[in-house]
């Protein structure tokens, strides 16, 4: 009997290692294929373009990842991004306010929305799926009322540089993405709060019985997700030079897709922030590469959908096999 266990365990360990690093292997292979198939894919200009394309959604995805790890889901980031972006744009006209004012206000809007989501989910015990779906729907209407359905333009040069400028040829968005990633990585990997988030997602009841305030953890998690969505709203408004009431549509799904593809479990308690970064890069590289190859966007959507379904299937299958 003992010999059978020894024979089985190495195989299981090998499968676990392959599963853990599969996304990174796939990403590396994909990049090699794109370099060979699409001339110019590895050019500096295109790499910087990929960086600009991936930055905003990935910042949102970091927040969505934390929510998923805590065992919940957030469907409101796209709407929060749109509303906070319009608020930022309305305060970013030339000569009116310093740059920090529209940025701080967009972040404040996001934090407030996140607090509402967290409070209703943790305290009122309303499923986060319903709460955040309601928040998203309401915010879309509020944004249209706030803007009268029209984009807000005439933004200051400082504000436009915030999300659209470059330093030594590298988009400022790239530096912001790296900064946000490092902060989120530190929070989730090096702090007691991060360990508590994993614990809540892994087994909320046991975590509560161990003396941890699980409701407080969830509220803070949603507030951080809202903060990042609000900050992304300011970045998006800056990049497109306008606060659009219809901005951010589908961002919440892109963020969740990046997280799940990167190894964040939809059941909670499992996943790494750097996996989310790779997941977002993988989706962006696919889109960018297929654009360069002249593949129709219809096929791109199909390919992305298949990848997302496969990632969720692997996550569920992995849970069942434990």
Rounded-to-10 torsion of CA 187, 270, 204, 124: 70
| pLDDT for res 296 | 82
The conformation of residue 230, written as its DSSP 8-state character, comes to H
In sequence order, the β-bridge partners of residue 243 are: 152
DSSP states along 5-74: HHHHHHHHHHHHHHHHHHHHHHHHHHHHHHHHHSTTTTSHHHHHHHHHHHHHHHHHHHHHHHHHHTT---
* Contact in structure between 321 and 94 (CB atoms under 8 Å): no
What is the bridge-based pairing of β-strands 166-167 and 170-171?
antiparallel
Q: What is the pLDDT along the chain (322 residues), one digit of tens a residue?
A: 444 444 445 555 555 555 667 788 888 988 999 999 888 898 999 999 999 999 999 999 999 999 999 999 999 999 999 999 999 999 999 999 999 999 999 999 999 999 999 999 999 999 999 999 999 999 999 999 999 999 999 999 999 999 999 998 899 999 999 999 999 999 999 999 999 999 999 999 999 999 999 999 999 999 999 999 999 999 999 999 999 999 999 899 999 999 998 989 888 999 999 999 999 999 999 889 888 888 887 787 788 788 778 777 776 666 556 5
Domains in the chain and their CATH numbers?
44-321 (1.10.3470)
Phi, psi dihedrals of residue 166, rounded to the nearest 5°: -135, 155
Alpha-carbon distance of 148 to 85, in angstroms, equals: 15
| pLDDT for res 11 | 56
CA 188 centroid distance within chain: 15
């Amino acid at each position: 009997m003992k010999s059978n266990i020894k024979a089985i365990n190495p195989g299981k360990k090998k499968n676990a290692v392959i599963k853990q690093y599969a996304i990174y292997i796939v990403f590396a292979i994909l990049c090699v294929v794109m370099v060979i198939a699409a001339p110019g894919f590895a050019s500096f200009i295109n790499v910087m373009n990929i960086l600009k394309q991936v930055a905003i959604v990935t910042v949102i995805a970091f927040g969505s990842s934390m929510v998923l790890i805590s065992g919940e889901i957030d469907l409101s980031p796209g709407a929060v991004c749109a509303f906070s972006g319009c608020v930022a744009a309305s305060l970013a006209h030339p000569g009116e306010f310093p740059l920090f004012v529209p940025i701080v206000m967009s972040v404040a809007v996001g934090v407030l929305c996140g607090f509402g989501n967290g409070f209703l989910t943790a305290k009122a015990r309303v499923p986060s799926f319903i709460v955040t779906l309601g928040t998203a729907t309401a915010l879309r209407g509020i944004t249209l009322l706030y803007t009268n359905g029209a984009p807000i333009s005439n933004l200051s040069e400082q504000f436009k540089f915030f999300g659209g400028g470059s330093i030594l040829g590298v988009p400022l968005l790239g530096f912001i993405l790296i900064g946000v990633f490092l902060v989120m990585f530190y929070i989730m990997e090096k702090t007691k709060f991060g360990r508590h988030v994993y614990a809540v997602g892994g087994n909320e009841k046991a975590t509560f019985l161990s003396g941890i305030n699980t409701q407080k953890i969830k509220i803070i998690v949603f507030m951080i997700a809202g903060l990042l969505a609000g900050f992304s709203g300011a970045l998006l408004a800056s990049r497109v030079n306008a606060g659009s009431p219809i901005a951010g549509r589908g961002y919440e799904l892109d963020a969740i897709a990046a997280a799940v593809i990167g190894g964040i479990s939809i059941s909670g308690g499992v996943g790494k922030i750097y996996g989310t970064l790779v997941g977002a890069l993988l989706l962006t590289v696919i889109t960018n590469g297929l654009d360069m190859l002249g593949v129709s966007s219809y096929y791109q959507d199909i390919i992305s959908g298949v990848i997302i379904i496969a990632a969720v299937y692997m996550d569920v299958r992995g849970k069942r096999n434990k």
